[in-house]
């Protein structure tokens, strides 16, 4: 399907109005793709983007994601529903949340979920376009999910419009409970074209939501839109993760089209809705493709995260095969010396095989420790490669990616070396440096046949990872 195929009619067409043969044909096309991941969540067909509704309910982990099954484009969004008993083995529940009411008729956009008694409550942005000018009108909608994974949407929106001074870019609510109130953190854009995070609160999760205060992050460098705000608590601190689109690069350096950022503070003063002693804004990931990270303070005490391995306003080589995007592995977060540390959850060990990996194994774990003062690691296939290097003279880490048929691109940062782990899942890589003090995440489109691994000044181990 070329770009001319995607008319406004097809991009906005209700799912019930599509010919079932389209999915049948697209499934056959996707099945031929040489880049499908093995142990990362993706869609059967079409597009995957933001993770949503990350929660623990009814004895299982639940993780939704935005999806458009009819093509690798940002068409009419629904929520794919994934469940797991162990945060590693995920299955898709065949009960997606699709646009089917007035207030989400142009898409079920990002949101979150919270366990309330014996049900799961979902709060999400319903996207609509109104009038001949197609003016964006967002609604913050609600729904209940029961123990059988049946979702029933509320008849009326929780929040029916953007507040005064805010444009139609008002979305991505994260809902948490603190003392007597439920709070929703919502990304926003002001009429002055600046980003901010607003908070709403209510004593009842499914009604009575009122604008409370703007979240004071200690910085105004939020660009023109602050997407996907999430608040989490760990190690006696508070972490805020968000995506400040258009942030000033002179004050906050990033190379991707849109950044994923975080701030750590001593606490969140709910009465003033202000971070106490906030850190500078920092990059969450130093790689090529990582966005829209969602947090979960889990019942077992861990702070967990998951992100979209992709970026808005970006095309990928897998698009030509009829699919795009994955979710990251679930990560556990901690704080060390004022920085966020991200590591794969311990449950991941259950799918790692001690059998040494070979060039034909496209799911593998590559580890090295300790690291030399200068080294290089190459992952090569025909007309493509990943090259990770460290140079002690300037403490510079450099990651170079060349996809099949594309020019090489580079990401770099400064830091000291101690350990390295690379999780490769066919076309997906997640790199954890120094135990996760730095991560580099992205997609790597190779020849689909084999990946040769070579090094200089480094001893590595390779293990197979079981294809899920």
- Please identify every residue annotated as catalytic: 50
Residue 21 parent element (H or E): helix 20-31
CB–CB of 310/325 below 8 Å?
yes
Report d(CA 112, CA 17) in Å as an integer. Answer: 28
Rg (CA), the chain: 22
Residue that is written with structure tokens 């940062």 in the block:
413
Q: What b/e sequence results for 373-407 when a residue is b if at least 16 CB atoms lie within 10 Å of its CB, and e otherwise?
A: eebbbbbbbeebbbbbbbeeeeeebebebbbbeee
User: For residue 277, is it left (φ>0), alpha (ψ between -120 and 50) or beta?
Assistant: left
Collapsed DSSP state (helix, strand, coil) of residue 350: helix
CA nearest neighbour of 456 among 376, 358, 350:
376
CB–CB of 364/372 below 8 Å?
no
Longest CA–CA span in the chain (Å) reads 63
């Amino acid at each position: 399907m070329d770009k001319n195929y995607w008319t406004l009619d097809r991009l906005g067409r209700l799912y019930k109005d599509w010919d079932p043969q389209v999915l049948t044909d697209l499934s056959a096309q996707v099945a031929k793709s040489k880049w499908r991941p093995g142990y990362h969540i993706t869609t059967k067909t079409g597009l995957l983007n933001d993770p949503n509704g990350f929660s623990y309910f009814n004895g299982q982990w639940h993780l939704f994601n935005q999806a458009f099954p009819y093509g690798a484009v940002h068409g009419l969004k629904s929520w794919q529903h994934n469940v797991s008993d162990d945060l590693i083995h995920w299955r898709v529940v065949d009960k997606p949340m699709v646009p089917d009411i007035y207030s989400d008729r142009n898409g079920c956009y990002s949101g979150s979920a919270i366990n309330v008694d014996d049900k799961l409550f979902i709060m999400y942005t319903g996207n609509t376009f109104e009038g001949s000018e197609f003016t964006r009108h967002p609604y913050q909608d609600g729904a209940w999910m029961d123990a059988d994974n049946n979702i029933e949407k509320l008849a009326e929106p929780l929040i029916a419009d953007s507040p005064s001074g805010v444009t139609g870019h008002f979305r991505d609510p994260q809902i948490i409970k603190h003392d007597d109130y439920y709070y929703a953190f919502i990304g926003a854009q002001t009429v002055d074209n600046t980003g901010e995070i607003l908070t709403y609160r209510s004593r009842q999760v499914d009604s009575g939501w009122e604008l409370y205060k703007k979240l004071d992050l200690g910085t105004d460098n939020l660009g023109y839109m602050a997407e996907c705000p999430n608040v989490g608590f760990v190690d006696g601190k508070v972490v805020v993760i968000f995506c400040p689109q258009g942030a000033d690069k002179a004050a906050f350096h990033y190379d991707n089209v849109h950044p994923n950022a975080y701030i750590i503070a001593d606490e969140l003063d709910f009465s003033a809705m202000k971070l106490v002693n906030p850190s500078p804004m920092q990059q969450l990931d130093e790689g090529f493709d990582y966005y829209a990270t969602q947090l979960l303070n889990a019942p077992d005490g861990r702070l967990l995260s998951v992100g979209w391995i992709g970026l808005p306003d970006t095309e990928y080589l897998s698009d030509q095969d009829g699919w795009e995007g994955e979710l990251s592995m679930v990560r556990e977060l901690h704080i060390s010396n004022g920085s966020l540390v991200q590591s794969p959850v311990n449950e991941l060990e259950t799918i790692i095989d001690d059998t040494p990996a070979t060039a034909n194994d496209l799911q593998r774990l590559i580890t090295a420790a300790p690291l030399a003062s200068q080294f290089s690691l190459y992952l090569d296939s025909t007309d493509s490669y990943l090259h990770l290097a460290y140079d002690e003279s300037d403490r510079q880490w450099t990651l170079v990616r060349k996809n099949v048929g594309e020019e090489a691109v580079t990401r770099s940062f400064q830091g000291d070396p101690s350990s390295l782990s690379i999780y490769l899942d066919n076309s997906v890589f997640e790199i954890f440096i120094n135990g996760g003090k730095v991560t580099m995440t992205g997609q790597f489109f190779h020849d689909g046949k084999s990946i040769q691994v070579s090094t200089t000044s480094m001893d590595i181990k390779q293990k197979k990872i079981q294809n899920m």
